[in-house]
């Protein structure tokens, strides 16, 4: 049997989304569940891959034959023929990839209309105006999407026509007006493309399918995939060919978008919007402000009840909050889409915990419904309620995406991006947003739109980004050209601050303070479950009492990385540090180190007290010494006189410490190999502090060792110090090594034999392993992600195929050499969910991340453990 | 059975050198061969390890008991008792490690003498003078070596005594003088150490053994091991306790050192020196100039004939040139040592090839007798014979070690080291050398001594180093304090040049030119055999016609690394290169590249013509672009006006290209990913050149790829270029990747699947894998080798346990993925014999090195293959 490329809805199911795309798979699932879905078929993702095969960009004859067969069946089912001049079958042609990419790819409606079938539609609907409106919409959409004519060219003709006829709304145009407009549209196509608008319905269909396939690769879609880290394996879109139903056949028709629960708060309450006498795009585009879904009950109780019953069934069936699209055609309800709905983190947490209460999900299932990355939204600051009381609320829009945002007004997406790059905080303010605005939305602190509803582009995208958004704020008058916004009689320019409250929809004058988030309720429940199932310990990177306290609040089980150099930089000790560096001999260095020691000891005492019996991994001094010395002429003079050397001498020392590649230079344990007294002082400070804080657990960590002999040399210094201080077993300490030099990973067995613990420093391991300097990679790394060389920035998420492979190799070696070895990861990857899951998979014991990402890591660790169990 | 720590000579054999040390093992072997060897026993290396165990530095009771048992047996055998007052047994106590470390460790002679046994010795020898001379020598040696009293303190007393007695020579002192001196020596010991000179012979023995063990760790010995890359596994020395025989019992006694062949030229002729009425140290120290060995025949025909017969037997037995020490005591010959002799490279090559002719060795055995590293001596330049004809020969000494050397006079070892560090070429000039001079000998171009023979310290060490040496040049008068040398009535100071000819022993005024070495005869034979047995291809790193021609002469089988950037730096093209860098857009870059292309094409044509059908691996542009731009203010102005931009603009571009860690920055294939047109130009130049040189084999190599997708992107550019030029199969080209980023090694399977060949860039792989910047590691890498963290500088010899492990991992992955993959190594390790052997072992197909190291690599490759076969 030859490969199958096209499927009727009846032939598919929800689990076929990698063949049928998400939309198609769910249409098939609904069809088989008996939900009213307009019939249709799906040209699969395999066909899309075939289209792109060998760069040919062509639908094969075989596939064309196959979908024509399915069309034939559809025509028979519907009793209509595509483009028939009596009673034409009309279809929509929509994209649908394996993952949802809302608004990113192309759609064509009303396909099958031409000069003849428009007559058939007129006759069949007895509504000439409707038929010609459908035809002009089709030409406009097909002309734009398939034939690449600027949408504005059509809009202009429409505006002219309206002006000429004195029409306010599109709906004020008569059938004759629309007939004339159709002719103008056709003339525009001829003028622009040098060809007649295609009249053959099969040609239209083929061109439509090709356009959808082609849209997989448009710039918007590529940017979306990049921003959302869509893996390369998700490749291609299916095309859903579905018989048309119409929500714009008068006041008994309508169309809407709804969620089985509130996607913003998570409340278990039917939620949505609709418009009567409208096409689906009208709701999403936010051109008219739609009505709340409950009011549909008054409009058409039968359809409303059926819709409620369907949403209940679908939610039960999918065990997840559903995001649905429907159309009512002359009183009859049709479902056009269902999918698991996007939601805010707050909603995700609430829905997941409530679904467990309702018996819909078990705890593990609930945990998997919460995206760990998204949790970030809950962990960042919110507007300070007290500060807000004093503030001037300018206007109120829709609370489209929660959180607080403060920034200067910005009226252009590109500018928002540029200003944010320069470190400015901006609020992107637009009449409404479109996919072209994505770059600016991503860069802005928050988004404010004057038009559109809770399901408008701005709202949907902002929620996905976890970005504060106030949408449809009609009181605001925006002049995008003049770059001003007028509200409450005041005008705001590019340098004026505004504050948004995404939870209430309020737009506030000036800058409002922010406060910490609330971490109780559903959030606490979810975290409790996460802790129940995860296997990885989650610790934090912290080197101040404040960070340590925050981390404990977020559930950190210890400090996984305490960088001691930060303590060296403090005002009170930097002088002694500099004296140590310029010292001419061991005596001089020791004298300076003696001054630093009491400070270090106090630092550690404070941390130990806060952390109690939680382990504290203390990394010995790591950075190159020149980092402690001044760089500017003026500073050099000042520092020189302070520490009692001549400026020239100090300059000489600075010059002698200069390195071509400091990243690969004299730092880490190399400092201790050359100047053992530095590490001895640190060990002394740690042990003395530990002796004065009973029950504490210092784990001393050697940085940047590449050869086990380096590590052993430093370990000997530590052990010698312990002996001198008669530490014995009075302190419960461990000694271990960072694994951040590729050579250390390759010889992890040798390290493990001599280490109590090891911790992957994946920042440096990535720098050395991939040969990228993080400070310099900016000039090319973006291009590397853009061009798909790395799926994600390897500094943000572990490069699992490369650096991850090296880690796996090291872990296997280490465990074989020392089954008791404790292995962790510190560095920024420890807070990246994908990286955390990877760490679980390769058998680490702990991850460590910044305090604010601790809950994310806890949840990601639970996800990993649950997936592992399956 | 408990462990055995001490062995009689009869209990050992030559293959036990890791237990008995080289000297002891050979004494045992000779004893068992029936060669006359004074009886003795060996306290083994295992005992030395036990001595150092846990840092205790103590001989265990068990071991003491064991050696005392062997002493007992020795006393029985000799019919004498150690320290007996009638007929005392006297012994020598000598070090002997598994490898020869001439002069590095301590020796004590005449042990067993005390105030009583000296009387016994007097009685037994009827020679009071001899007995007290032995006693005073013993106190002096024991006092210095075992009790750490400066040797000069004793020398001073000796000088005073001679002066007081009006004695010119030591031998002019009478028995009474010596008795007095003994008392003075004993008083000195008492004064310095606060204890009497030990009179108990067993205490003397124990202290002597401890001193030898201790000398394993003295500074000289550690430096020697470091310079000679002695592996950590060679650990500890044995102690040879042997009954004394005396070469200084009058004119029928004597002592000498001899070689079974000439160690300088390799000529098969008995070669050596001896002194009558002397102790062994007298010959080696070069205090008196010894006589040629042949003259011994006249002195004592019987002993001479026996010696010749022994040397013939030993050479046959060991199948190698022997270096022997002997003593004649009152007419009777004793052998005190034999070992495989050190030799010059020329001698090694000649001896090896002649021993095959003589049927002593087969070809493989002969190849293993030649040290690949040492071959370097033969490959470097010699004094230009024509230039020498014009030169003024100042004096003639002994031709102690061949080669030519030119440099400024230097009279102090430490200064020689310091001046060489500053880039100066110096000749180290000393009255005679001692182990303390090692550091200066290593740094100097050549060595000149006024005293000492062909087997003096200077001569032996220089030959081992492959360094030119003229020894025993009596005509030269050296004032080490004033730092001048006077010869032929001329005085030379620190800034005057001299030239040495190590092959003739001539000392020449000023600077003489140098010429290429002669590579025929035995050398050619050895190379022919090497080629017959080696499996590795040997190519060269070359990017100029001259280097390529030299390399072919040295036997290179292709170019393993042609760096194209060197071509970019040439006067004629650097302007266009700079125009390319400052170009604002693709058009500008292309215009500049168009100017460079014909130059590149011509470069490649020339190389292809020279290399014929030998493959030429061409690496695409690698360095960061800023390397092509000027750095100094003045230069920036000049270049800016030349290429037509403002100085400020050029400064801006230079600033934008600045990187914190250029090593890990925007270079290698990253240039091509961002600016594909650069690689396209290079590919075009290569293909066009190849089309015009029939039969050539360009292999195009992509640098610095870490992810296979980077490599593929550049490969596509090359293939596209080939297509555009309609190359088809008209050019026999290959495309491959450098493997120099650790990530590439970890994913070598992915690379191999898409590569025709791969080449390890071990310089960068070491930098990134170990996390060392080669430019910066100077500040700590020396310490790393000193402290034994790395056995050898990992940039000189592959770090086999770390970087080598990564290479092995990559090779295994690559071959599994693509059994046809061709794998090589370029970079400086390709010319290091240990690295070459390692490359063979892990299954590489080729090595590439600098032209002058090609023969070394050929021989090392043969060694690897022969060892592999065993």
Name the burial class of residue B536, with classes exposed (0-12), middle (13-18) and buried (19+) by CB atoms within 10 angstroms of its CB. Answer: buried
> In this complex, how many residue pairs, one in chain A and one in chain B, have their CB atoms less than 8 Å apart?
173
Is A659 in contact with B773 (Cβ distance < 8 A)? yes
Measure CB to CB from residue A789 to each of B709, B788, B799 and give the nearest one. Answer: B709
* Nearest residue in B to A657, CA atom: B779
| Chain B positions in Cβ-Cβ contact with residue A664 (cut-off 8 Å) | 661, 663-664, 767-768, 771-773, 776-777
Name the burial class of residue B694, with classes exposed (0-12), middle (13-18) and buried (19+) by CB atoms within 10 angstroms of its CB. Answer: exposed
pLDDT of A602 strictly over 80: yes
B851 forms beta bridges with none
Lowest mean pLDDT among A43-47, A166-170, A368-372, B63-67: A166-170
| Chain A positions in Cβ-Cβ contact with residue B741 (cut-off 8 Å) | 769-771
pLDDT of A230 strictly over 60: yes
* Nearest residue in A to B661, CA atom: A661
Distances in Å between the Cα of B85 and the Cα atoms of A212, B81, B175, B184, B199 are 113, 9, 18, 22, 12
Measure CB to CB from residue B664 to each of A659, A661, A784 and give the nearest one. Answer: A661
Optimal mutation site among B653, B707, B742, interface A, most CBs of chain A within 10 A: B742
Q: With CA atoms as reference, report the closest residue to A402 among A286, A476, A500.
A: A500
Is B771 in contact with A747 (Cβ distance < 8 A)? no
Is B772 in contact with A664 (Cβ distance < 8 A)? yes
- Quick one: pLDDT at residue A537? 98
Measure CB to CB from residue A788 to each of B665, B709, B773 and give the nearest one. Answer: B709
Tokens 């019939």 appear where?
Answer: A39
Q: With CA atoms as reference, report the closest residue to A422 among A408, A434, A436, A433.
A: A408
Q: Read off the pLDDT of residues A450-494 as tens digits, 9 standing for 90 and up.
A: 987 776 778 877 765 668 899 989 899 999 889 999 998 999 999
The more confidently predicted of residues A400 and B813 is B813
| Chain A positions in Cβ-Cβ contact with residue B707 (cut-off 8 Å) | 770, 789-790, 802
Is A783 in contact with B704 (Cβ distance < 8 A)? no
CA atoms of B526 and B532, how far apart (whole Å): 10
Round to the nearest angstrom and report the end-to-end CA distance of chain A. 34
Distances in Å between the Cα of B749 and the Cα atoms of A187, B704, B743, B755, B804 are 58, 16, 11, 10, 17
- Quick one: pLDDT at residue B465? 66
Is A773 in contact with B747 (Cβ distance < 8 A)? no
Shortest distance between the Cα of B617 and any Cα of chain A, in A, equals 23
Shortest distance between the Cα of A675 and any Cα of chain B, in A, equals 11
Mean pLDDT, chain A, integer: 92
- Quick one: pLDDT at residue A58? 93
Which residue in A562, A826, A839, A849 is the catalytic one? A826
Is A713 in contact with B789 (Cβ distance < 8 A)? yes
Q: With CA atoms as reference, report the closest residue to B135 among B113, B159, B108.
A: B113
* Nearest residue in B to A802, CA atom: B743
H/E segment holding residue A639: helix A633-643
- The rounded percent of chain A whose pLDDT value lies above 90 is 72
The more confidently predicted of residues B287 and A625 is A625
Shortest distance between the Cα of A704 and any Cα of chain B, in A, equals 8
By DSSP bridging, strand B446-449 and strand B107-111 are unpaired
Respond yes or no: is residue A826 known to be catalytic. yes
CA atoms of A112 and B270, how far apart (whole Å): 108
- Quick one: pLDDT at residue A284? 65
A321 pLDDT band (50/70/90 cuts)?
very high
Q: How crowded is residue A220: how many other Cβ atoms within 10 Å of its Cβ?
A: 16
- Quick one: pLDDT at residue B775? 75
- Quick one: pLDDT at residue A12? 95
CA atoms of A460 and A467, how far apart (whole Å): 10
Q: With CA atoms as reference, report the closest residue to B698 among B735, B738, B737, B733.
A: B733
Q: List per-block mean pLDDT (blocks of 10 residues) for chain B, which spans 870 residues.
A: 88 95 96 97 96 90 96 96 93 92 82 96 92 95 93 92 88 92 96 95 96 90 81 89 92 94 93 89 71 94 97 97 95 95 91 96 96 82 79 90 90 93 93 83 92 78 76 90 92 95 91 78 96 97 89 95 85 88 92 95 96 98 90 87 89 87 91 94 98 97 97 96 95 98 98 98 95 81 82 90 98 98 92 95 96 92 92
pLDDT of A798 strictly over 70: yes
CB of A383 within 8 A of CB of A514?
yes
- Quick one: pLDDT at residue B517? 75
Q: How crowded is residue A167: how many other Cβ atoms within 10 Å of its Cβ?
A: 16
Q: How far is CA A831 from the centre of its chain?
A: 14
Residues 6+ positions from A341 with CB-CB distance below 8 Å:
A259, A260, A261, A263, A320, A321, A322, A323
Tokens at residue A438, please? 């994505």
| Chain B positions in Cβ-Cβ contact with residue A659 (cut-off 8 Å) | 773, 775-776
Name the burial class of residue A444, with classes exposed (0-12), middle (13-18) and buried (19+) by CB atoms within 10 angstroms of its CB. Answer: buried
How high is the ipTM of this complex? 0.81
Q: Which residues of B are the active-site residues?
A: 457, 826
Measure CB to CB from residue A801 to each of B666, B747, B784 and give the nearest one. Answer: B747
Q: Read off the pLDDT of residues B744-792 as tens digits, 9 standing for 90 and up.
A: 999 999 999 999 999 999 999 999 999 998 877 877 887 787 788 898 8
Shortest distance between the Cα of B77 and any Cα of chain A, in A, equals 48
H/E segment holding residue A810: helix A803-817
Name the burial class of residue A658, with classes exposed (0-12), middle (13-18) and buried (19+) by CB atoms within 10 angstroms of its CB. Answer: exposed
**pTM attached to this predicted model:** 0.82
Shortest distance between the Cα of A544 and any Cα of chain B, in A, equals 28
CB of B620 within 8 A of CB of B682?
yes
Which residue in A70, A417, A457, A829 is the catalytic one? A457
Shortest distance between the Cα of B382 and any Cα of chain A, in A, equals 38
């Amino acid at each position: 049997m030859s490969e199958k490329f096209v499927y009727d809805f009846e032939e598919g199911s929800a689990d076929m989304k990698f063949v049928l795309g998400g939309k198609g798979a769910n249409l098939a699932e609904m069809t088989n569940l008996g939900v009213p879905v307009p019939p249709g078929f799906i040209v699969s993702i395999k066909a899309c891959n075939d289209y792109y095969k060998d760069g040919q960009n062509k639908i094969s004859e075989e596939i064309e034959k196959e979908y024509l067969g399915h069309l034939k069946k559809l025509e028979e089912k519907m009793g209509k023929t595509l483009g028939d001049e009596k009673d034409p079958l009309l279809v929509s042609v929509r994209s649908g990839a394996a993952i949802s990419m809302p608004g990113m790819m192309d759609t064509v409606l009303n396909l099958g209309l031409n000069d003849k079938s428009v007559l058939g539609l007129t006759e069949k609907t007895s509504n000439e105006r409707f038929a010609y409106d459908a035809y002009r919409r089709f030409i406009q959409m097909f002309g734009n999407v398939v034939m690449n004519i600027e949408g504005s060219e059509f809009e202009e003709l429409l505006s002219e026509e309206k002006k000429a006829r004195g029409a306010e709304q599109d709906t004020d145009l008569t059938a004759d007006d629309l007939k004339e407009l159709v002719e103008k549209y056709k003339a525009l196509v001829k003028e622009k493309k040098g060809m007649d608008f295609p009249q053959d319905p099969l040609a239209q269909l083929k061109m439509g399918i090709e356009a959808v396939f082609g849209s997989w690769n448009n710039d918007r879609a590529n940017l979306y995939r990049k921003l959302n880290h869509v893996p390369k394996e998700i490749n291609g879109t299916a095309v859903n060919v579905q018989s048309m139903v119409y929500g714009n056949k008068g006041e008994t028709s309508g169309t809407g978008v709804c969620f089985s629960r509130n996607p913003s708060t998570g409340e278990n309450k039917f939620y949505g919007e609709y418009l009567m006498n409208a096409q689906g795009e009208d709701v999403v585009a936010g051109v008219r402000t739609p009505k709340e879904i409950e009011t549909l009950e008054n409009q058409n109780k039968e359809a409303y009840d059926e819709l409620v019953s369907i949403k209940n069934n679908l939610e039960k069936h999918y065990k997840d909050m559903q995001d649905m699209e429907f159309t009512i055609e002359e009183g009859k309800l049709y479902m056009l889409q269902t999918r698991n709905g996007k939601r805010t983190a707050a909603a995700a947490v609430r829905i997941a915990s409530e679904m467990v209460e309702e018996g819909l999900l078990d705890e593990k299932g609930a945990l998997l419904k919460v995206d760990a990355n998204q949790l970030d939204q809950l962990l960042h600051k919110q507007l300070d309620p007290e500060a807000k009381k004093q503030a001037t609320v300018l206007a109120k829009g829709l609370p489209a995406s929660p959180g607080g945002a403060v920034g200067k007004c910005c009226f252009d997406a590109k500018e928002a991006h540029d200003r944010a790059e320069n470190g400015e905080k901006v609020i992107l303010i637009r009449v409404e947003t479109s996919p072209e605005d994505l770059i600016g939305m991503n860069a802005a602190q928050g988004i404010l739109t004057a038009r559109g509803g809770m399901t408008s582009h701005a709202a949907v995208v902002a929620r996905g980004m976890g970005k504060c958004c106030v949408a449809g704020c009609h009181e605001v008058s925006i002049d995008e050209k003049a770059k001003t916004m007028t509200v409450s009689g005041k005008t705001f320019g590019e340098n004026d601050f505004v504050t948004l409250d995404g939870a209430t929809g309020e737009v506030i004058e000036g800058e409002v303070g922010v406060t910490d988030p609330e971490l109780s309720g559903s959030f606490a429940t979810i975290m409790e479950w996460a802790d129940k199932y995860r296997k990885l310990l989650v610790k934090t990177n912290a080197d101040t009492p404040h960070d340590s306290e925050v981390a404990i609040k977020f559930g950190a089980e210890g400090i996984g990385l305490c960088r001691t150099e930060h303590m060296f930089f403090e005002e009170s000790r930097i002088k002694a540090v500099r004296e140590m560096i310029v010292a001419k001999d061991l005596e001089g260095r020791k004298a300076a180190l003696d001054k630093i020691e009491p400070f270090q000891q106090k630092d550690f005492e404070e941390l130990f007290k806060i952390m109690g019996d939680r382990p504290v991994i203390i990394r010995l001094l790591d950075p190159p010494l020149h980092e402690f010395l001044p760089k500017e002429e003026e500073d050099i003079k000042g520092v020189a006189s302070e520490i009692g050397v001549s400026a020239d001498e100090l300059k000489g020392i600075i010059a002698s410490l200069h390195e071509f590649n400091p990243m690969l230079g004299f730092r880490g344990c190399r400092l201790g190999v050359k100047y053992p007294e530095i590490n001895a002082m640190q060990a002394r400070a740690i042990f003395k502090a530990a002796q004065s804080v009973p029950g504490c657990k210092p784990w001393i960590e050697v940085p940047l060792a590449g050869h086990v002999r380096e590590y052993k040399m430093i370990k000997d210094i530590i052990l010698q110090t312990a002996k001198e201080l008669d530490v014995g077993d009075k302190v419960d300490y461990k000694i271990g090594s960072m694994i951040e030099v590729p050579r250390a990973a390759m010889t992890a067995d040798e390290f493990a034999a001599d280490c109590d613990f090891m911790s992957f420093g994946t920042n440096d391991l990535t720098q050395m392993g991939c040969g990228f300097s993080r400070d310099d990679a900016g000039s090319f790394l973006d291009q590397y992600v853009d061009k798909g060389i790395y799926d994600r920035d390897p500094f943000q998420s572990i490069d699992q195929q490369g650096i991850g492979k090296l880690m796996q190799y090291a872990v296997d070696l280490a465990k074989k050499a020392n089954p008791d070895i404790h292995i962790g990861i510190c560095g920024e990857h420890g807070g990246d969910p994908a990286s955390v899951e990877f760490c679980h998979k390769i058998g680490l014991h702990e991850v460590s991340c910044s305090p604010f990402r601790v809950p994310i890591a806890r949840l990601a660790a639970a996800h990993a453990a649950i997936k592992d169990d399956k």
